[in-house]
Amino acid sequence: MNNLEFQSVLFNFHDVILLMTSMQCLLFALLLCITNSHHIKSTFFLAAFLFAHVLIPINELMMWGAEFKLHARQQLSSLYFVPAIAYYLDGPILFLCIKSLVFRDFILKRVDLLHLLPFAIYSLFIGINFYSNPLNIRLEILNSESLVYSTSFVTIEFLSKLIRVAYVIACFVLVSRYGLKLQDKHSNMEKAHISWLRALVAGFMIVMLFELILSASKIITHRHAIYFYIGLTRYYTTFLLVNLLVFTAIRFFGMFEQVNEQDSPKKPTDDFSIDPQEAESIDERIKQQQLFIDPDITLDSLAETLEIMPRDLSLIINRHFEANFYTFINNYRIEEAKKILKDPTKRDTTITDIYLAVGFNSKSVFYTFFKKFAGVTPTKFRQLN
C-alpha cells in the first residue's frame, strides 16, 4: 500500500477571502480604467483606490498568511514590504476621489504632494532598516520577524493607521460640505445620493478603525489571539465593502451633481441691499401659488418663475429669511401640512398623503422638519388641534 503524502495547505479559507478581495479589486479597477473614455478624474481616483486594495490583501498574506508567508520570505524577499505602501496611499486617494467627485472646480495642486509624505516616510524607513541590508541579512530579518515586531515598525504602522482614520474623517467633512452647498439650491436631497456616499465612507471607517485597534493592540499587548480575531473581522468587512463598491459605484458615480468648492467671485455681494418689499412679494407669491408643492423645485426653477436672478434670490433667502434654500422651501411645506392637520374636514387624510401633498418625498425628512418647526410630531399636532 502506497504511503499518502499530505502536503500543507498554502491557503486556508480566510486567505481565500483575501485573494478574492484582491482579484475583485483588480478586475474592477481595470474595468474602470478601460471604460473611462471621458477621462473623469473621480473615476481614475476610484480605480487607484481599488488598485491600493489589490495590494493590501497581498500584504496581509505575505505578512501573516499561515503557510504563504513562509513561501513569500523565500521567494519574494525583495518585494516583502512593498505591498504595504497601499496603507499609506489609500486614505489620500479616497479623499481626492470624493473631492473630485463632488467638486466641479477640483484640480490637483502642488500642495497635494503633501499627501505623499506618509508614503515617503515609510519608504525611507523600510529602505534603511531592510533593503539596505544584504540578502542573507534580509532573510534573517524576515524569518526571525525581528523587524515586524520591533517598536519602531509597530509605531510607524500605528501612525499609518491613525492617518488613514484621519483621512476618512476628512472625507466625512467633504461630504457634509457638499451637502450644505446642495441645500443652497435644492429642496429635495434624496436624489443627491449623499446617504450612499456617507454609508460607503462609514464602512471604510469601520475597517480602518479595526486596523487602528489592531495596531494599538500590538503596542499594548502581545496576545496574538486578539490580532487574529480583529484581523478576521476586517478581512470580511473589507470583502463586503468592496462588493458594495463594485455593485453600486457604477450606478451612483455618474449621478452626482457637482458643485463649486470655491464660490465664484463674479460680483461683490457686500453691496447687495435687500429690499424688504421685494422679499415680502416673493414670500406672498410662493404662498399664493404654492410653488413649494413641486417636490423637485430648485433655486434656479424658482428664480425663473419669480423672474429674478438665481444669485439675487439666493442672497435674499440667506440674508432676509436667514435660511438656506432647503430649509426655506421646507418651512412652507410644513406650514401647509399644519393647515391640513388642523382642518376638521381632512381628519381622515393620512400622514403619508399629507407629506406627499405638500411636496415631501421622504417620511423621515418630513418628520424631522415638522418636529423642528412645530416642536411635536404630526400625529401629536393633530391630536392637540
pLDDT score at 43: 87
pLDDT score at 342: 92
pLDDT score at 6: 40
* CA dist 38 → 43, 105, 250 (Å): 10, 17, 14
Mean pLDDT of successive 10-residue segments in the chain (385 residues)? Answer: 45 73 88 85 90 90 80 87 94 94 91 95 96 92 90 91 94 92 86 77 82 77 52 64 67 74 58 79 94 93 93 92 94 95 90 94 92 92 87
- Taking the C-alpha atoms of residue 369 and residue 291, their distance in angstroms, rounded to an integer, is 18
Topology of the domain covering 276-384: Arc Repressor Mutant, subunit A (1.10.10)
- Taking the C-alpha atoms of residue 135 and residue 133, their distance in angstroms, rounded to an integer, is 7
* CA dist 314 → 64, 122, 185 (Å): 57, 48, 8
Say if residues 129 and 147 touch (Cβ distance below 8 Å).
yes
The closest of 101, 119, 137, 357 to 249, measured between CA atoms, is 101
Question: Could you say which architecture CATH assigns to the domain 13-253?
Answer: Up-down Bundle (1.20)
Q: CA 360, 365, 370, 373: dihedral to nearest 10 degrees?
A: -110
Q: At what angle do helices 13-35 and 41-64 cross, to 10 degrees?
A: 160
pLDDT score at 370: 94
Q: Is the dihedral of CA 124, 129, 133, 138 positive or negative?
A: negative
Residue spans of the domains in the chain: they are 13-253, 276-384
**Long-range CB contacts (< 8 A, 24+ apart) of 262-271?**
262/105, 267/311, 269/315
Q: Which residues pair with 103 in a beta bridge?
A: 259
pLDDT score at 225: 47
Q: Count Cβ atoms within 10 A of the Cβ of residue 79 and give its class: 0-12 exposed, 13-18 middle, 19 or more buried.
A: exposed
pLDDT score at 352: 93
- Taking the C-alpha atoms of residue 124 and residue 283, their distance in angstroms, rounded to an integer, is 63
The closest of 351, 355, 340, 194 to 259, measured between CA atoms, is 194
> Is the pTM for the entire model greater than 0.85?
no
* CA dist 54 → 29, 64, 256, 312, 321 (Å): 9, 16, 26, 49, 51
* Residues near 123 by beta carbon (within 8 Å), at least 6 away in sequence: 85
- Taking the C-alpha atoms of residue 298 and residue 303, their distance in angstroms, rounded to an integer, is 8
* CA dist 380 → 17, 361, 370, 371 (Å): 51, 21, 11, 10
- SS3 of the chain: CCCCCCCCCCCCHHHHHHHHHHHHHHHHHHHHHHHCCCCCHHHHHHHHHHHHHHHHHHHHHHHHCCCHHHHHHHHCHHHCCCHHHHHHCHHHHHHHHHHHHHECCCCCCHHHHHHHHHHHHHHHHHHHHHHCCCHHHHHHHHHHCCCCCCHHHHHHHHHHHHHHHHHHHHHHHHHHHHHHHHHCCECCCHHHCHHHHHHHHHHHHHHHHHHHHHHHHHHHCCCHHHHHHHHHHHHHHHHHHHHHHHHHHHHHHCCCCCECCCCCCCCCCCCCCCCHHHHHHHHHHHHHHCHHHCCCCEHHHHHHHHCCCHHHHHHHHHHCCCCCHHHHHHHHHHHHHHHHHHCHHHCCCCHHHHHHHCCCCCHHHHHHHHHHHHCCCHHHHHHHC
* Residues near 358 by beta carbon (within 8 Å), at least 6 away in sequence: 292, 293, 333, 334, 336, 337, 340
Residue with cell 403619508: 352
